[in-house]
Amino acid sequence: MLHALSLTANQDIKSRITYSAHIKPLNDDDLQAFIIRELEQAKMGISTFDENAMALIIRSSEGNLRLCRNLCLASLIEAARETQKTVTITHVNQVLVQPHWRSHEQLIKQQVT
């Protein structure tokens, strides 16, 4: 089938075929291991995120690796703005109060009240 689709006559059909998959959320230990591995790759200390900040990042990302990565980066930027070497829960909360981190339902509830 793959050979038949790769023929020039079937290129139009091949371009319309897509594949999708549902990825299950990662568990907390895997997210923490990912964060630590990324910090080590960047030659940053494991203590860059304090314990409470790490827990909040893991809890807020809900097993989504992309959200975890983006939340870590945004929190690091907040800490850098304050010239701090350690990311605290305050930095993570400063990121989480921004509108694009809240769910659609939370934003609607905020406007109604």
The pLDDT value recorded for residue 21 is 77
Give the whole-angstrom CA distance, residue 19 versus residue 85.
Answer: 43
User: How far is it, in rounded angstroms, from Cα 11 to Cα 68?
Assistant: 38
When pLDDT is averaged across residues 16-20 and rounded to a whole number, the result is 74
Q: Which pLDDT score is estimated for 103? A: 65
**Would you place residue 105 in the very low, low, confident or very high pLDDT band (cuts 50, 70, 90)?**
low
Handedness of CA 111, 98, 50, 61 (dihedral sign): positive
